[in-house]
A and B are shown apart, each in its own frame.
Chain A
Amino acid sequence: MLRLSNLDLAEDGVPHLADISLDFRPGLTTLLGRTGAGKTTLLRAIAGLAHPFGQISFNGQDWAQLPPWHRPVAMVTQQFINYPHLNVLDNLAFPLIRRGEARAAALAAAETMLGRVGLAQMASRRPSELSGGQQQRVALARALVKGAPILLLDEPFVNLDYNLREGMREELMALLQSGGETTVIYASTDPREALRMGDQTVLMSEGRALQSGAPRAVFAAPAALAAARVVNDPPINILSARLDATSLDIDHLGPFPRDALPEDLPPGGYSLALRAEDIRQNGTVSARVALTEVSGSETVTHLQAGAQPLVMLERRVQSHPLGAEIRLALDLRRALIYGADGALIAKGAAHG
């Protein structure tokens, strides 16, 4: 088991890691967070490339004094990093030869792995002669051929186009199926990717690990407002609400039926987090279109209701003219309810 205890790292007063304590077991864990959340720094710390305060241990062995070249870690980064002066086959054999394996055995293992990632025909080419996707596949194969017990994947497919990314993700999952006891940590900014891939998910923001657990459970109940922001794409709507015994009032949007929120919720001020798919057309809230994005068969519309920004997701291709007025229906019964300290208190009435 890979154990991180109280990791702290700051540069020029900016925290990159803040009191991170996590355990990683064999299987795939996704690190989910926006750019700058600290995912890469955390992976680099595990690899020995960043040096935070705190403790990192693997199977009981303290890694404090262990340099990167002695850590049983393989890593694939966003950039396509291969050895430019070696051909593809030698690239894959390189770590095995450095580990002391005989050249013939290393080349044989490299050739097998090259076949598995579908690049057998490219063995004698230099990385610069390959496409971006092929280069990243070489980098991935070089990480896998080492058979390291810890595999760190730092947004490995982010620089690839959509189709290639989907294909590579499937390939990776298939390759990892036979990975046995490998601890795989996959950093991503895409909540859907995290939901689809991981056995476990860790949400990160501003250098902190906000929440960890099974992806679906984390998605269903983000423990903090910051976690709700991280785990939702398109962005979740945050509404400032005031509740009393008989009414519910939302800043800039006006009064709503009290029964949208649980009956036993005490009066007070709350933050309601409402997913974009829980806002629909044909309601009573007036808003103007600020931006429309069509992605595949979905439409994300950014709106402005007075001073309140809103995001609506429609599962169809829809064209909303810029500045057009739309009447929205907010399904507050599906809202997540957070207290003044940002912690999850309850869910809307529809969650039961």
Chain B
Amino acid sequence: MRTLYLALKYLAVTLWSAFVIFPFLWMLSTSFKTQNAVTGGATWLPWLQFEPSLAGWRALFGGAGGVNIVKPYLNSVVVTGTASAIALVLGTLAAYGLSRFSFRAGPIRNGDITFFFISQRIMPPIVLAIPFFLMLRWLGLLDSLPGLILVYVAALMPIAVWVMVDFFNTIPRALDEMAWMDGCTPVTTFIRVILPNVLPGLVVAGMFCLIFGWNDFFFAFTLTFTKTQLLPVSIVALNSSVTPWWSLSAAAIVSVAPLAVLAFVVERFLASGGLKGAVR
């Protein structure tokens, strides 16, 4: 009975793993194929039996039937990195304030303010796109990196606030007070005592900001034209009358790579005990 249970368990895990990993393997395989290999199929081994080609990869650097994604890629790095950093700093400060101080303005309390932040993410992006478009046009920041950074900060900060409020709430106020009595001002308390104890939260919030920022297509598409393209928009630009699955697959791998590396490094860091004892 136990053997049957184990067999079923491993079968289920294997099937689910295959289901999750398959798209990545398909993507990797397809990125090295030509049009014929993709549409023609193989005789015996569907994903392995083909003549490898770098055509899909060359298309990403302006090769035949492609677009050069280097500049959009760098734009994405700058916009996502800068916006995530700013959102994390502002969001962490806002979350600390919401966790430690009581705000009252008429019927509005801390919980309402936290919900206000989160509500920015509840609204469909289309609702925000037109106001953002008008504001950026008024500021002369349409189709520019600073304009995109501004919008992305607004879009990512709720995530940072949402994650960090919960982490700050797990740190007892008594720790702040003890730091005060040990000679820390509120600012040094925040920097020297509280922040080191919410390091896992900062990592999680930072990861969320990077993922959401990096994968955003809507704002990148609606608030830019040709001067300041981001990666997701340029990947879509690869498409033509015949869907170039080989170059789209290569672009998808290039797009996923930085986040995958980052997730891997963070996971190693967490596993190595880099945050051990940071939270009681």
Q: In the complex, what residue of chain B is closest to A86 when comparing beta carbons?
A: B196
A85 to B192, CA, bound (A): 10
Indicate whether B256 reaches chain A with its CB closer than 8 angstroms: no
Residue-wise interface mask of A (54-97) relative to B, using a CB-CB cutoff of 8 A (1 in contact, 0 not): 00000000000001110101110101010111000000001100
User: Is B181 touching A128 in the complex (CB atoms < 8 A)?
Assistant: no
User: Is A85 touching B183 in the complex (CB atoms < 8 A)?
Assistant: no
A48 to B182, CA, bound (A): 12
Residue-wise interface mask of B (247-280) relative to A, using a CB-CB cutoff of 8 A (1 in contact, 0 not): 0000000000000000000000000000011111
Residues in A with CB closer than 8 Å to B277 are: 84-85, 126-129
Residues in B with CB closer than 8 Å to A294 are: none
Residues in B with CB closer than 8 Å to A49 are: 177, 180-181
Indicate whether A99 reaches chain B with its CB closer than 8 angstroms: yes
Known: A68-B177, A79-B172. A84 touches B184 (CB 8 A): no
Contact of A83 among B175, B188, B199 (CB under 8 A): B175
Indicate whether A192 reaches chain B with its CB closer than 8 angstroms: no
Residues in A with CB closer than 8 Å to B196 are: 85
Indicate whether A288 reaches chain B with its CB closer than 8 angstroms: no
User: Is A69 touching B278 in the complex (CB atoms < 8 A)?
Assistant: no
Q: Size of chain A's interface in residues, with CB distance under 8 A? A: 26
Indicate whether B197 reaches chain A with its CB closer than 8 angstroms: yes
Smallest beta-carbon distance A253→chain B, Å: 48
Residue-wise interface mask of B (120-141) relative to A, using a CB-CB cutoff of 8 A (1 in contact, 0 not): 0000000000000000000000
Indicate whether B174 reaches chain A with its CB closer than 8 angstroms: yes
Indicate whether A47 reaches chain B with its CB closer than 8 angstroms: yes
Contact of A69 among B172, B175, B180, B199 (CB under 8 A): B180
For the residues of B in contact with A, the DSSP-based class is: helix
User: Is A75 touching B280 in the complex (CB atoms < 8 A)?
Assistant: no
Indicate whether B185 reaches chain A with its CB closer than 8 angstroms: yes
Q: In the complex, what residue of chain A is closest to B277 when comparing beta carbons?
A: A126
Indicate whether A327 reaches chain B with its CB closer than 8 angstroms: no
User: Is B181 touching A126 in the complex (CB atoms < 8 A)?
Assistant: no
Indicate whether A137 reaches chain B with its CB closer than 8 angstroms: no
User: Is B278 touching A85 in the complex (CB atoms < 8 A)?
Assistant: yes
Residues in B with CB closer than 8 Å to A75 are: 178, 181
Residue-wise interface mask of B (132-153) relative to A, using a CB-CB cutoff of 8 A (1 in contact, 0 not): 0000000000000000000000
Residues in B with CB closer than 8 Å to A216 are: none
A128 to B276, CA, bound (A): 10
Interface of chain A residues 175 through 220 with chain B (CB within 8 A): none
Smallest beta-carbon distance B21→chain A, Å: 37
Indicate whether B163 reaches chain A with its CB closer than 8 angstroms: no
Smallest beta-carbon distance B2→chain A, Å: 37
Residue-wise interface mask of B (166-192) relative to A, using a CB-CB cutoff of 8 A (1 in contact, 0 not): 000000101101111111110010001
Residues in A with CB closer than 8 Å to B193 are: 83, 85
Indicate whether A252 reaches chain B with its CB closer than 8 angstroms: no
A48 to B185, CA, bound (A): 13
A199 to B178, CA, bound (A): 27
User: Is A98 touching B278 in the complex (CB atoms < 8 A)?
Assistant: no
A85 to B181, CA, bound (A): 18
Smallest beta-carbon distance B270→chain A, Å: 15
Residues in A with CB closer than 8 Å to B182 are: 69, 94-95, 98, 142, 146
User: Is A99 touching B174 in the complex (CB atoms < 8 A)?
Assistant: no
A79 to B173, CA, bound (A): 12
A90 to B179, CA, bound (A): 13
Residues in A with CB closer than 8 Å to B197 are: 84-85
User: Is B181 touching A74 in the complex (CB atoms < 8 A)?
Assistant: yes
Residue-wise interface mask of B (49-87) relative to A, using a CB-CB cutoff of 8 A (1 in contact, 0 not): 000000000000000000000000000000000000000
User: Is B279 touching A84 in the complex (CB atoms < 8 A)?
Assistant: yes
Smallest beta-carbon distance A277→chain B, Å: 39
Contact of A126 among B180, B184, B276 (CB under 8 A): B276
Smallest beta-carbon distance A51→chain B, Å: 13
Residues in A with CB closer than 8 Å to B276 are: 126
Residue from A73, A84, A126, A146 having most chain B Cβ neighbours under 10 A: A84
Interface of chain B residues 91 through 137 with chain A (CB within 8 A): none
A85 to B188, CA, bound (A): 15
Interface of chain A residues 24 through 69 with chain B (CB within 8 A): 47-49, 67-69
Interface of chain B residues 180 through 222 with chain A (CB within 8 A): 180-185, 188, 192-193, 196-197, 199
Q: In the complex, what residue of chain B is closest to A99 when comparing beta carbons?
A: B183
Residues in B with CB closer than 8 Å to A79 are: 172, 174
Q: In the complex, what residue of chain B is closest to A125 when comparing beta carbons?
A: B277
Residues in B with CB closer than 8 Å to A85 are: 193, 196-197, 199, 277-278
Smallest beta-carbon distance A99→chain B, Å: 5
Residue-wise interface mask of A (147-184) relative to B, using a CB-CB cutoff of 8 A (1 in contact, 0 not): 00000000000000000000000000000000000000
Q: In the complex, what residue of chain A is closest to B179 when comparing beta carbons?
A: A83
Residue from A47, A48, A68 having most chain B Cβ neighbours under 10 A: A68
Smallest beta-carbon distance B180→chain A, Å: 4
Residues in A with CB closer than 8 Å to B172 are: 79, 81
Residue from B174, B175, B193, B280 having most chain A Cβ neighbours under 10 A: B280
Smallest beta-carbon distance B168→chain A, Å: 14
Known: A83-B193, A85-B278, A129-B277. A71 touches B175 (CB 8 A): no
Given contacts A47-B181, A68-B180, 14 further A-B contacts (CB under 8 A): A48-B180, A67-B180, A67-B185, A69-B183, A77-B174, A77-B178, A83-B179, A84-B277, A85-B278, A98-B183, A98-B192, A126-B277, A127-B277, A129-B277
User: Which B residues are closer than 8 A to A by beta carbons?
Assistant: 172, 174-175, 177-185, 188, 192-193, 196-197, 199, 276-280
User: Which A residues are closer than 8 A to B by beta carbons?
Assistant: 47-49, 67-69, 71, 73-75, 77, 79, 81, 83-85, 94-95, 98-99, 126-129, 142, 146
